[in-house]
Amino acid sequence: MAMHNGIEIPDNEAARVAAVQSYGVLGTGPEQEYDDIVELAVAITGCQIGYISFFDEAYSRLKARYNIPLDRPDRPRELSLCSQTIKQSEMLIVPDLSQHPRFADLPAGLIPPLA
């Protein structure tokens, strides 16, 4: 597995990026269908936040969000929680990001505090 800016890059990265680009969703606005999926996932899991993001080579780009401000910008891939998830096929659940060895050192504001 290759490395880029301190994160592991999957061996199938070129094919993964080509597939994401073929979806035509990068840089597009919100769509109700994606919002519905996030709201359903939040309801099922009991999480306080949820989102769908797509990754190109360098950025995590939000497509849908629940309880995350609309002004939250896309993030460099190395500052995203999802860099880990694209390397695996099973669900990743992190109950407390501040206590997780892989995510505890990510910059403040990665996920906004809830009121």
In a domain, 104, yes or no: no
DSSP H/E element including 62: strand 59-66
The SS3 of residue 61 is: strand
In a domain, 17, yes or no: yes
Handedness of CA 92, 89, 17, 38 (dihedral sign): negative
* Tokens matching residue 1: 């597995």
pTM for the full predicted model: 0.74
**86 close to 55: Cβ distance less than 8 angstroms:** yes
pLDDT, residue 50, reads 87
In a domain, 30, yes or no: yes
Range of the domain at 38: 2-99
* Tokens matching residue 104: 């505890």
* Tokens matching residue 25: 């969703």
In a domain, 40, yes or no: yes
> How many structural domains compose the chain?
1
pLDDT, residue 109, reads 52
In a domain, 19, yes or no: yes
In a domain, 41, yes or no: yes
Phi first, then psi, for residue 49 (nearest 5°) are -135, 160
In a domain, 114, yes or no: no
In a domain, 109, yes or no: no
Intervals of the chain under pLDDT 50? 112-115
pLDDT, residue 115, reads 42
